[in-house]
Amino acid sequence: MADRYDLILRADRVVLPDGERPAAVAVRGGTIVAVAERDAPLPAVRDEDLGADALLPGLVDTHVHVNEPGRTEWEGFATATAAAAAGGVTTLVDMPLNSLPPTLDAAALAAKQAAARGQCVVDVGFWGGAVPGNLAALRGLHEAGVFGVKCFLAPSGVEEFPPLSWPEAEAVLRELRRWDGLLVVHAEDGTRLAARPPPRGPRYADFVASRPPDTEDGAIGTLAALAGSVDARVHVLHLSSAGALPMLASARAGGVAISAETCPHYLTLAAEDVPDGGTQYKCCPPIRGRANADALWRGLGDGTIGCVVSDHSPCPAELKGDGDFGAAWGGIASLQLGLPVVWTAARRRGVPLADVVRWMAAAPATLVGLPGKGRIEAGRDADLVAFSPDAELTVDPAALRHRHPVTPYAGARLAGVVRQTWLAGRPVDGAPTGRLLRRGMDSP
Q: Looking at residue 90, which CATH number applies to its domain?
A: 3.20.20.140
Is residue 62, in this structure, part of any structural domain at all?
A: yes
Distance from C-alpha of 226 to C-alpha of 267, rounded to nearest angstrom:
28
In this predicted structure, what is the pLDDT of residue 405? 87
Structural domain range at position 227 = 58-368
- Return the closest-CA partner of residue 104 out of 70, 72, 131, 142: 131
Is residue 92, in this structure, part of any structural domain at all?
A: yes
Is residue 363, in this structure, part of any structural domain at all?
A: yes
Percent of the chain with pLDDT over 90: 96
Is residue 322, in this structure, part of any structural domain at all?
A: yes
Strand partners, 418: 387
What are the pLDDT digits (tens) for 391-420?
A: 999 999 999 999 998 999 999 999 999 999
Is residue 228, in this structure, part of any structural domain at all?
A: yes
Whether the Cβ atoms of residue 281 and residue 274 lie closer than 8 Å to each other: yes
In this predicted structure, what is the pLDDT of residue 373? 98
Domain count, the chain: 1
Whether the Cβ atoms of residue 265 and residue 240 lie closer than 8 Å to each other: no
Q: Look at residue 2 and tell me whether its pLDDT is greater than 60.
A: no
- Return the closest-CA partner of residue 387 out of 82, 80, 58, 93: 58
Q: What b/e readout covers 178-202, taking b as 16+ CB neighbours within 10 angstroms? A: eeebbbbbbbbbbebbeeeeebeeb
If residue 177 lies in a helix (H) or strand (E), which one and from where to where? helix 166-177
Is residue 278, in this structure, part of any structural domain at all?
A: yes
Q: What is the pTM of this model?
A: 0.97
Distance from C-alpha of 363 to C-alpha of 192, rounded to nearest angstrom:
31
Distance from C-alpha of 424 to C-alpha of 31, rounded to nearest angstrom:
6
Going by their DSSP bridges, the two strands 123-126 and 59-64 should be labelled as unpaired
Residue 343 sits at φ, ψ, to 5 deg, of -65, -40
Percent of the chain with pLDDT over 70: 99
Q: Look at residue 1 and tell me whether its pLDDT is greater than 50.
A: no
CA–CA–CA angle 436, 441, 444 (5° rounding)? 80
Is residue 434, in this structure, part of any structural domain at all?
A: no
- Return the closest-CA partner of residue 147 out of 367, 373, 312: 367
In this predicted structure, what is the pLDDT of residue 322? 87
Average pLDDT, the chain: 96
191 pLDDT band (50/70/90 cuts)?
very high
Is residue 251, in this structure, part of any structural domain at all?
A: yes
With a CB cutoff of 8 Å and minimum separation 6, the contacts of 429 are: none
Distance from C-alpha of 114 to C-alpha of 111, rounded to nearest angstrom:
5
- Return the closest-CA partner of residue 181 out of 107, 128, 223: 128
- Return the closest-CA partner of residue 130 out of 193, 186, 180, 61: 186
